[in-house]
Amino acid sequence: MLCLRQIQLIAVSSFSTFCPVTMALWWFLVLVGFFLLGRGVTNSLVGHNFTTSCNHLTLLGGQAGGTEVSMQRERGEGKECDNFSDVDFHEAFIGTNLYVRLLLYTRANLDCGLELPHHNFTKVPLFHVTRPTTFVIHGYRPTGAPPIWINHITRLLAEQADMNVLVVDWNRGAANLNYFTAVANTRRTATNITAFIRRMTDEGACLDSIHLIGVSLGAHVAGFIGAMLGGQVGRITGLDPAGPMFAGVPPEERLDPTDAQFVDVLHTDMNSFGLQGANGHIDFYANGGLDQPGCPKTIFSGKSYFVCDHQRSVFLYLCSLNRTCRLTAFPCSTYTDFINGQCSRCEAFKPASCPVLGYDLSQWRDKLLKLGQTKVYFSTTAEPPYRKTSYIVDTVTWNQYRRWGLVILRFLNGKNVTETRIDHKPLRFEQHTSMRLLAQFDEDLYPVRKISFRIVTANVIGPQYKIRLLRIMITPLDLPERPPMCRYDLVMEENMDVTFKPLSCDESHL
């Protein structure tokens, strides 16, 4: 019997809950989404503009598509360049056999990848085993096209430190219509790379200096490598680890904190292609790890509907590497608690701030290892630099009648205005009630000359009730250098703006 009630393209938490017919239909619809748009539609996808400072190329969302990169060698500055495998769609349709390549990038050859032999790599002058080495591991490639972000991440990683950047090209193995074949190839790929790393250590490399960055299925490849090496690699970064076939399995069958000395994970698509739960020493949840701003909500948007949320993890990480996005995340039990303003304290990390998404987590690492698994949450905008400016809004009301509504908050500076709506749940205003809210703005407007505050209720026809605010205090959440803004004893009508100049906060009123 067909499990119709289980067919939810957006709300799939685990393949294990599907009946076989439904699971087959689910994957058929997903693959149709990929094939209808083909391999080169990436340049028209919605919601993922990203420009790097190094080469001014624009990344537009879509995991499988974009710039054509062939396996053929190209000549550049007298050197032969080795490029990421571009598997023909016909081959992907039939199915590819696993073949793992390692492409080396350093500061000396950022524009020209060099295929590294698995055995005689010490003879390659550009490869120094005593340098830190970062492996970049891609995920499922249903159409066989190269990831459009490969060149960007190699450049940005090389800017962080003088390191070897090794792109693990397992496209022949990941490029299969049959997702289950690609899943099976994750362990085989991990075995291959583990043997290579062991040879590196034989030549003097230190496991402490190994960093594995895995995207989607690649995150689990990284986890398997780490487990095979006894959890001794220095770090694993998982960018939205794949969920299908990994939900509900034991820790040894997926990425988990024991796979490396330090594991950090970013979640962006837990209700579809990403893995739910906590999988690292620290798990970052962008917008709760679910639907991402700017991503399509209907299947009529084509391929972007399937991949946008999932690969937002890559674009957020690239933005953090590029140092154009400072995305501060806050420890919290749930995203609901976070947007309710209940998670604004970071005492556990003092004197450091709350953790910031990105490459350098050194100032939080030791405390995170002591804390165990830590969940941190943050919200983003739809476009780079993705950062929202957040404020904690504390109010004390003193009105005679109970009113329910939402809040519209505006900051003004001359002709410039930024606005936010706090409307994720009904808010209660009644006599002597303290309330804490989280206000998040897409734009950072500073200094704030005036503030407009409105309480919107469902009362449209009847008399407008007055609401008295004994105090309103607005405190920057992650900008401690900015002082809080206050106002005292405001009387306003529901559904009407009250505009005022912010005052410094008098301790006698607090």
Q: Is residue 144 part of a domain?
A: yes
| Residue 510 confidence (pLDDT) | 52
Token pair, residue 269, equals 């698509």
| Residue 500 confidence (pLDDT) | 92
Is there a catalytic annotation at residue 162?
no
Same structural domain for residues 136 and 235? yes
Cα–Cα dist 357/49, whole Å: 19
CB 494 within 8 A of CB 456: yes
Cα–Cα dist 107/264, whole Å: 25
Same structural domain for residues 488 and 400? yes
pTM value surpassing 0.85: no
Cα–Cα dist 53/70, whole Å: 25
Which sign, positive or negative, has the C-alpha torsion 354, 257, 312, 384? positive
Q: Is residue 121 part of a domain?
A: yes
Same structural domain for residues 369 and 429? no
Is 254 annotated as belonging to a binding site? yes
| Residue 59 confidence (pLDDT) | 27
Same structural domain for residues 218 and 286? yes
Token look-up 């009407």 returns 496
| Residue 63 confidence (pLDDT) | 31
| Residue 478 confidence (pLDDT) | 83
Active-site residue among 216, 304, 313, 390? 216
Q: Is residue 384 part of a domain?
A: no
Active-site residue among 240, 264, 394, 478? 240
Same structural domain for residues 453 and 321? no
Q: Is residue 470 part of a domain?
A: yes
Q: Is residue 27 part of a domain?
A: no
| Residue 425 confidence (pLDDT) | 84
For the chain, how many residues are written?
510
Q: Is residue 82 part of a domain?
A: no
Q: Cis bond leading into 483, ω under 30°? A: no
Domain closes at, from 355, 378, 401? 378
Is 208 annotated as belonging to a binding site? no
What is the residue-level pLDDT of the chain in tens, covering all 510 positions?
Answer: 333 333 333 333 333 344 443 444 444 445 444 443 344 333 333 334 433 333 322 222 233 333 333 333 333 345 689 999 999 888 888 888 899 999 999 999 999 999 999 998 999 999 999 999 999 999 999 889 999 999 999 999 999 999 999 999 999 999 998 999 999 999 999 999 999 999 999 999 999 999 999 999 999 999 999 999 999 999 999 999 999 999 999 999 999 999 999 999 999 999 899 999 999 999 999 999 999 999 988 777 777 778 899 999 999 999 999 988 899 999 999 999 999 999 988 888 988 999 999 999 999 999 999 998 999 999 999 999 999 999 999 998 887 777 788 899 999 998 899 999 998 888 888 777 888 999 999 999 999 999 999 988 877 776 677 888 889 999 998 888 899 999 998 888 878 889 999 998 875 455
Token pair, residue 22, equals 């439904």
Q: Is residue 70 part of a domain?
A: no
Q: Is residue 71 part of a domain?
A: no
Domain closes at, from 350, 378, 406? 378
Beta strands in 173-311 (DSSP E): 210-215, 235-239, 263-267, 282-286
Q: 3-class DSSP state for residue 75?
A: strand
Same structural domain for residues 175 and 307? yes
Cα–Cα dist 203/66, whole Å: 38
> Which residue type is seen at 476?
P
Domain closes at, from 347, 378, 409? 378
Bridge partners of residue 185, in order along the sequence? none
Is there a catalytic annotation at residue 216?
yes
What range defines the domain where residue 308 resides? 89-378
Structurally, how many domains does the chain consist of?
Answer: 2
CB 265 within 8 A of CB 277: no
Which sign, positive or negative, has the C-alpha torsion 426, 430, 433, 439? positive
> Which residue type is seen at 151?
N
Same structural domain for residues 117 and 214? yes
> Which residue type is seen at 86?
D
CB 9 within 8 A of CB 299: yes
Is 259 annotated as belonging to a binding site? yes
CB 52 within 8 A of CB 114: no
| Residue 495 confidence (pLDDT) | 87
Token look-up 């140092």 returns 323
| Residue 462 confidence (pLDDT) | 67
| Residue 362 confidence (pLDDT) | 94
| Residue 323 confidence (pLDDT) | 86
Active-site residue among 48, 269, 310, 344? 310
| Residue 92 confidence (pLDDT) | 84
Distances (CA, A) of 432 to 48, 54, 99, 325, 438: 45, 55, 68, 40, 20
Same structural domain for residues 129 and 110? yes
Is there a catalytic annotation at residue 240?
yes
| Residue 117 confidence (pLDDT) | 94
Q: Domain containing 416 — which CATH number?
A: 2.60.60.20
Q: Domain containing 245 — which CATH number?
A: 3.40.50.1820
